[in-house]
Structure formats: C-alpha cells, structure tokens
C-alpha cells in the first residue's frame, strides 16, 4: 500500500484504470450530438480529471472550449449545503452546449447549483460528467442524474487525483482511501 504523509493509502482506482476509463468516457461524449461544446471544469477538485478528460476528448476527435468555475459548497454531502461562486466563468454560455466536469457527485448540491446557473444564463444544454458518483448520498431535493460517470464510488471519503483532505493528497495519480497510520 502506498504511504503518503505517514498514512497508508488503499488504492481504489489506479492511474491506469482511470486513464482507460477516461478514454471510454471521451468516446461516449464524442458520440453525443454536441455543437460548439464548452467544457466547464468545476474547481478545485476536478483539475486533474478535467485535464485528462479534455485530452482524451481531443484523442476522441473533439475540439471543445475549456473554462473554469470555482465553487465552494459549505457542508458538501450534508443537508446544509450552501453553494458560493468563488470565481465565475468568463464566457457567455447562452445558446451553447455545456459540459460540467467535476470530481465527485455526492449530495448533488454543487452540480445542481452549477447546472441551474448555466440554464438560467441561457445555455442550450447542460451535461454533467463526474469521475465518481456516490449515488447513495444523493439528496431528495437535488436528485441530479449525471450524463457521464467514471465509476460508482463506494461510500467512503476518497482522496487523490485532485481530491483532498485540507488541500493534502491532491497530487496522487490514483484515487484512494486513507486507511490509517503507516
């Protein structure tokens, strides 16, 4: 088991497993009838997934624009989730096909907020791609169905591949669970 910061990390999805899945996701996305697609990476957690997914989309023959929004959800995954825009997109999204890309879909609050924001701004369509789906955690008032899912995630707190605990572990090339002290 890898040891990082003195903790044993149980690998859930290896770098090669994720890379293979990203290629499949990119082909699924390319098979849709998207026109003038704008990918919006939801920072911070999605920075590695987005970087890999847009390159896989290139390999799948796509030419998306890429943008960023930084959101913070206070109490993500809990009932008290209030979403704030820390940094907005620069682009006009009206009449465009949008693909929101995030690391994990849990309660659905963060991505429901982002999707509704883009629809209010006149987006033609808003798709959602997530690396991990904790579907068992979805809240009744935000029952978002993702369009593209890398993996159905077990109900554990995961780190790596962009995902953090207090800004630690984002650099790991795999997704894992902190299993305890080494």
List interacting residues with ligand IMP (CB under 6 A): 45, 73, 76-77, 81, 102-110, 157-158, 163
- When the beta carbons of 30 and 147 are compared against ligand IMP, the nearer one is 147
- Considering CB distances under 5 to 8 angstroms, the limit depending on partner class, which of Mg ion, ligand IMP, none binds residue 18? none
Q: How far is the CB of 1 from Mg ion (least distance, A)?
A: 26
Q: How far is the CB of 91 from ligand IMP (least distance, A)?
A: 21
- When the beta carbons of 62 and 128 are compared against ligand IMP, the nearer one is 128
Q: What backbone phi and psi angles, to 5 degrees, belong to 111?
A: -80, -25
Q: How far is the CB of 81 from ligand IMP (least distance, A)?
A: 6
41: enclosing H helix or E strand: strand 38-43
Q: How far is the CB of 21 from Mg ion (least distance, A)?
A: 19
- When the beta carbons of 64 and 162 are compared against Mg ion, the nearer one is 162
Structure tokens at 77: 């995954």
- Considering CB distances under 5 to 8 angstroms, the limit depending on partner class, which of Mg ion, ligand IMP, none binds residue 157? ligand IMP
- Considering CB distances under 5 to 8 angstroms, the limit depending on partner class, which of ligand IMP, Mg ion, none binds residue 74? none
**Exposed (0-12), middle (13-18) or buried (19+): which is 140, by Cβ within 10 Å?**
exposed
Per CB under 5 A, the list member of 25, 34, 45, 149 interacting with Mg ion is 45
CA distance 164 to 123: 31
32, 25 in Cβ contact below 8 A? no
DSSP 41-69: EEETTTHHHHHHHHHHHHHTT---EEEEE
- Considering CB distances under 5 to 8 angstroms, the limit depending on partner class, which of ligand IMP, Mg ion, none binds residue 81? ligand IMP
Q: How far is the CB of 146 from Mg ion (least distance, A)?
A: 14
Neighbours of 40 (CB within 10 A): 25
22, 52 in Cβ contact below 8 A? yes
How does DSSP classify residue 169? S
């Amino acid at each position: 088991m890898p040891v990082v910061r003195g903790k044993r990390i149980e690998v859930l999805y290896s770098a090669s497993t994720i890379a293979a899945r990203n290629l499949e996701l990119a082909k699924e996305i390319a098979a849709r009838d998207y026109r003038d697609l704008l990918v919006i990476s939801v920072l911070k957690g999605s920075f590695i997934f987005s970087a890999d997914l847009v390159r896989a989309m290139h390999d799948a023959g796509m030419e998306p624009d890429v943008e960023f929004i930084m959101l913070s959800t206070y109490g993500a995954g809990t009932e008290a989730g209030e979403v704030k825009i820390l940094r907005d997109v620069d682009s006009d999204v009206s009449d465009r096909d949008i693909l929101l890309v995030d690391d994990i879909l849990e309660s659905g609050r963060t991505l429901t907020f982002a999707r509704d924001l883009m629809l209010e701004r006149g987006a033609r369509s808003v798709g959602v791609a997530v690396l991990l789906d904790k579907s068992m955690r979805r809240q009744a008032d935000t029952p978002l169905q993702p369009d593209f899912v890398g993996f159905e995630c077990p109900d554990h707190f995961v780190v790596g591949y962009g995902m953090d605990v207090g800004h630690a572990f984002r650099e790991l090339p795999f997704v894992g669970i902190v299993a305890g002290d080494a």
